[in-house]
Amino acid sequence: MKTKCGVLMLIVFITLNSICKAQESPPKTYKEQYRPQIHFSPKEHWTNDPNGMVYFNHTYHLFYQYYPKGSTWGPMHWGHATSADLIHWKERPIALYPDSLGYIFSGSAVVDSNNTSGFGKKGKTPLVAIFTHHDPKGEKEGSDKFQNQSLAYSLDNGNTWTKYKGNPVLRNPGIKDFRDPKVMWYAKEKKWVMTLATKDHITFYSASDLKNWKKESKFGLEIGAHGGVWECPDLFPLKLDGKPYWVLIVNINPGGPNGGSATQYFVGQFDGNKFTPVDTKTRWLDYGPDEYAGITWGNTGARKIFLGWMSNWQYANQVPTEKWRNAMTIPRDITLKKVNGELLLASVPVPELKGIASGGATAVKTKLPAQSLLKMSTASLNDYSITLSNDAGEELVIGYDKKANQYYIDRTKAGKVDFQHDFKGRFVAPRFATAKASDLTLVIDGTSVELFADNGLTTMTTIFFPNKPFYHITTKGISLKQTALKSIWK
Ligand code: FRU
């Protein structure tokens, strides 16, 4: 009797204990509340800009500004993830750690096929990273020269990196904001071209060996948006109907069209020395508040694939996630289009996204899948709205306002909006297309929507944090098709 009772008590104890433990255990990684299911975010801790994006040996490399000891911005490292299809990502060991020259700020990576750098050994092609060393001591001491450009290389497909002993390779001439080198091969003159953000303009440099950089020219002092500091540029050729053009991307913070950080661009010509824009208009690649530091992958041939950080410096440190903070956008194919005589960039989600479709497209009813692709096309564009909601009375409204000729995303009532005063709001973007017909693609994740209207001529990215998932959808003036998307983390 005594022992039976003892066994019973033991069973009760074990059961209670395991119930309590189950309740206490944190949600599994990638299953947490607010975890993006179809976008890259690091397993844990802080991320900002995408860095070193390069395609090599059938692998897309994504490095990113990373602070591995906390979920707010801190001493920067380069985190690393790889993908075969731009959609499923595998996190790799940290690629670059801070050192005596400083934190590892943003930059790019190139495939040095001709071994111009001399880093290649035993016939192995070096991947070379060109990044900004940011010296926090120099900054504190009031020096202007605390940002300098440095190199690191990898001979094993980006798995491990060695910093160049001769760092830095491009010394600061006395410009406080002197950073974010994007390097490309300029085949015509067999040289590398570096596009560098230098406070309120761009400076182009060139080198034959990635080490000895010579100043070529400046661009942008009197052109473009200047509401903030210029950061994270990109320069690349892009054809339209067989005619070659050059695109110069310049991220800016603050001063974006909907407040805070955003991506502007210029279309023009580049002759190896100088960039000449075709006109002087300011243009934005994404009008939403939550695409920043966006640049393109190197070594992808004629295809140009763009990826941005899905946040805004206004509130990136305060968004209500703790284990990790911030994510990247969906990769986008960008092309040039001529609309009313103007050269514009258009962005669309990469077709690889369809690889995670769960079944075919069906008419939208009232239930919204956890992640989805929503689409419509119409012969005649009129006012419309799409409301995502939950039964906590929260909603996100996406739409088109014909009178204003604007697309909009309104997150005023989308759940947690008061963690920072700039977050709450209704954001607008102009319609550039002039045809009566229109189309729309929305990429919906648990905490973000990316809008691509008129074949991507207008693009907006917005994040949100509802207290319960948005599982209802209602539409006015539009009929949508939906395709459910599978989580990339399964
Ligand atoms: C842009 C930026 C870059 C810098 C990095 C630091 O978001 O400010 O200019 O290199 O972030 O993390």
Write out pLDDT tens, residues 364-407.
989 999 999 999 999 999 999 999 999 999 999 999 999 999 99
Pocket of ligand 1 (CB under 6 A): 48-49, 65, 76, 105-106, 132, 179-180, 231-232, 293
Query: Is the pTM above the cut of 0.85?
Result: yes
Q: Distance from the CA of 54 to the center of ligand 1, in angstroms?
A: 19
Question: Does the annotation count 49 as an active-site position?
Answer: yes
Tokens of residue 490, six digits: 């399964």
Q: Residues 345-361, buried b or exposed e (16+ Cβ, 10 A)?
A: bbbbbbebbeebeeeee
C-beta separation of 230 from 188 below 8 A: no
Q: Does domain 355-485 have CATH number 2.60.40.10?
A: no
Q: Would you state the pLDDT for residue 13?
A: 52
Q: Would you state the pLDDT for residue 22?
A: 47
> Rounded to an integer, what distance in angstroms lies between the CA atom of residue 364 and that of residue 362?
6
Residue written as tokens 């949100």?
A: 464
Q: Which of 51, 180, 253, 307 has most ligand 1 atoms within 8 Å of CB, for mutation? A: 180
C-beta separation of 317 from 458 below 8 A: no
* Span(s) in the chain for CATH 2.115.10.20: 45-349
Q: Would you state the pLDDT for residue 20?
A: 46
Give the active site residue among 49, 180, 286, 454: 49
Q: Distance from the CA of 142 to the center of ligand 1, in angstroms?
A: 19
Q: Distance from the CA of 423 to the center of ligand 1, in angstroms?
A: 20
- Beta partners for 154? 127
Tokens of residue 443, six digits: 């990429």
> Rounded to an integer, what distance in angstroms lies between the CA atom of residue 35 and that of residue 270?
41
At residue 17, the 3 state secondary structure works out as helix
Closest CA to ligand 1's atom 6 = 105
Q: Does domain 45-349 have CATH number 3.40.50.300?
A: no
Q: What is the DSSP string of 74-136?
A: -S-EEEEEEESSSSS-EEEEEEE--BTTBEEEEEEEEE-TT-TTS---TTPPPEEEEEEEE-H
Q: Would you state the pLDDT for residue 10?
A: 53
Per the document, the length of the chain is: 490
* Closest approach atom of ligand 1 to CA 73: 12
Q: Would you state the pLDDT for residue 27?
A: 79
Closest CA to ligand 1's atom 9 = 231
Q: Distance from the CA of 244 to the center of ligand 1, in angstroms?
A: 31
Residue written as tokens 């946040």?
A: 311
Q: What is the pLDDT of residues 252-271, one digit of tens each?
A: 999 999 999 999 999 999 99
* Span(s) in the chain for CATH 2.60.120.560: 355-485
> Rounded to an integer, what distance in angstroms lies between the CA atom of residue 59 and that of residue 54?
8
- Comparing CA positions, the residue from 203, 163, 143 lying closest to residue 78 is 163
Q: Distance from the CA of 107 to the center of ligand 1, in angstroms?
A: 9
Which residues does the chain have with pLDDT short of 50? 1-2, 20-22
Burial zone of 97 (CB within 10 Å; 0-12 exposed, 13-18 middle, 19+ buried):
middle
Q: Residues 368-402, buried b or exposed e (16+ Cβ, 10 A)?
A: bbbbbbbbbebeebeebbbbbbbeeebbbbbbbee
At residue 48, the 3 state secondary structure works out as strand
- Pairing outcome for strands 384-389 and 372-378: unpaired
Q: Would you state the pLDDT for residue 5?
A: 52
Phi, psi angles (nearest 5°) of residue 154 = -130, 135
Q: Which of 105, 200, 261 has most ligand 1 atoms within 8 Å of CB, for mutation? A: 105
Q: Which of 73, 149, 175, 232 has most ligand 1 atoms within 8 Å of CB, for mutation? A: 232
Q: What is the DSSP string of 333-363?
A: EEEEEEETTEEEEEEEE-GGGGGGEEEEEEE
> Rounded to an integer, what distance in angstroms lies between the CA atom of residue 215 and that of residue 196?
10
- Comparing CA positions, the residue from 468, 464, 484, 471 lying closest to residue 36 is 464
Closest CA to ligand 1's atom 8 = 231
